[in-house]
Amino acid sequence: MMKELKAMKIVVCLKQVPDARDVRLDPITSTLIREGVMAIINPYDRHALEEGVRLAKDNGGTVTALSMGPPQAAEILREAVTCGADEAVLVSDRAFAGADTWATTHTLAQAIKTIGGADLVLCGKQAIDGDTAQVGPGLAERLGIPYVTCVKKVLACADGVIRLQRMMDDGYDTLELRLPALLTVVKEINKPRLPSLKGKMKARKIKIKTLSAADIDADPQQIGLKGSPTQVVRVFSPRARGERTLISGTVDQQVEQLAVKLTKIL
């Protein structure tokens, strides 16, 4: 029988994002209106947190919730504690402002190294505000550890090896990799738990560790706007173009109608 991996140290990366149900753009500046908009834990990251808590319970480990952001990001870290995280670390510094995914991965990697590393790093597949899906793989490269994206199920974790299923367009792959490693997860992996009373009581008392750029020995040339090779020039809502026509009827009737319309256009 395989011996279970004990005292696993798990780090879950969380991002604070605006609630997608209430996103609005300033028509003059073409930037997101954040005032009065609720900030939440990135939905995919919730699934990463749940999987981290589950794995820690099964393997006798601990979960550290880690977030890079402004001071108010501490709110989502306290929420993470209510859902099972053991510790919370906020990486916050004005020098991090304007960071793209390249600069973000440098910051997160330095923070993880500063807190003593991790056996397993968990991230959501992507953030709903940027949708790049670059931070997870980029962070793994910065840490020099193997990674798997779009994980839909963790099958086993023992003897320093984790076995899992990775979602594919036409099914899934079953993979094994040695720890330390990084996984990005999809929403199909689990159903996040609700905050517990015990968790809420712990969240009220817990002291969130805050780290600055100096604390994590971050390279000034690789953080914030200065360390970002890409920049968002403008955010805008696409304008509606053309007319829409609803085609109804059986499949054969719809195909015939579509063919007629395309003939007129061409």
C-alpha 233, offset from chain centre: 23
User: What are the DSSP E strand ranges found in the chain?
Assistant: 9-14, 16-18, 39-41, 62-68, 87-91, 120-124, 147-158, 161-168, 171-178, 181-185, 209-211
Burial, 62: exposed, middle or buried (Cβ in 10 Å; 0-12, 13-18, 19+)? middle
pLDDT tens, position by position, 125-146: 999 888 899 999 999 999 999 9
Which residue do the tokens 């992507």 mark?
126
Summarize pLDDT for 41-91 with one digit per residue, the tens: 999 999 999 999 999 999 889 999 999 999 999 999 999 999 999 999 999
Candidate from 2-11, 27-36, 79-88, 238-247 with smallest mean pLDDT: 27-36
182 token code pair:
């990084």
What pLDDT does 30 receive? 56
Q: By the 8 A CB rule, do 157 and 55 touch?
A: yes
Ordered structural domains, the chain, with CATH: 9-237 (3.40.50.620)
- Apex CA 48: angle with CA 42 and CA 53, to 5°? 125
Please state, in angstroms and rounded to a whole number, the distance separating the CA atoms of residues 115 and 63.
12
